[in-house]
Amino acid sequence: MKNFCYKPIGIVHSPFRSREDIDPERNTRSRGFLNITGELEIFKKYEKGLNDISGFSHLIVLFAFHQSPGGRLFSKPPGERSVKGIFATRSPHHPNSIGLTVVKLLKRDANIIRVSGLDMVEGTPVLDIKPYTRKDRKGSIRTGYMAKWKKLGRS
């Protein structure tokens, strides 16, 4: 099987300086991540690829969990009493330390994209950006063990 090597297209500028600064349980419970603002600095050589991005309200950001040791098969999500299979979690400890998040686009200024909803640490490598579209919100979805979170105000 072929190995893949990805080159970052930019980096994140965030108020979170380390993994420990991100408290998923507190920020999810208070919906705090929605209010966290920061910037995606896209390297100049990719700036032209940002043309037309300002027409979208939200972006999907693929990034590298560069501070994660990775490689676990189980993880205990915040607020859960039991461990879950790694592929049923949003943990940074997946075998391939690739993250995905949706952010709200606030403003684009040249190669800098100002966003809210940031849940990444300072210096996180950005691997790709895609527009969030209607097709990303198809119909009803099942959220497994996370369904109870909505009732608790944590979804």
pTM score over 0.85: no
pLDDT per position as a tens digit, 132-151: 887 766 666 666 777 765 55
Beta-sheet strands, E only, within the chain: 10-13, 37-42, 58-64, 74-75, 84-85, 98-109, 112-116, 125-131
Question: What is the share, in percent, of the chain residues with pLDDT greater than 90?
Answer: 49
* 111 Cβ contact partners less than 8 Å away, ≥ 6 residues apart: 10, 41, 42, 43, 44, 46, 47, 50
> 29 falls in which pLDDT band (50, 70, 90)?
very low
- For residue 135, the model assigns a pLDDT of 74
**Which amino acid is it at 13?**
H
Question: What is the share, in percent, of the chain residues with pLDDT greater than 70?
Answer: 81
The token pair at 140 is 């009803």
Measure the CA–CA gap between 41 and 110, rounded to whole angstroms: 9
In the predicted model, is pLDDT for residue 27 greater than 50?
no
* 37 Cβ contact partners less than 8 Å away, ≥ 6 residues apart: 15, 106, 114, 115, 116, 118
Residue 148 is inside which H or E element, if any?
helix 147-151
Angle, CA of 109, 43 and 132, to the nearest 5°: 65
- Domain 10-133, CATH class in plain words: mainly beta
pLDDT per position as a tens digit, 107-137: 999 999 999 999 899 999 999 999 988 776 6
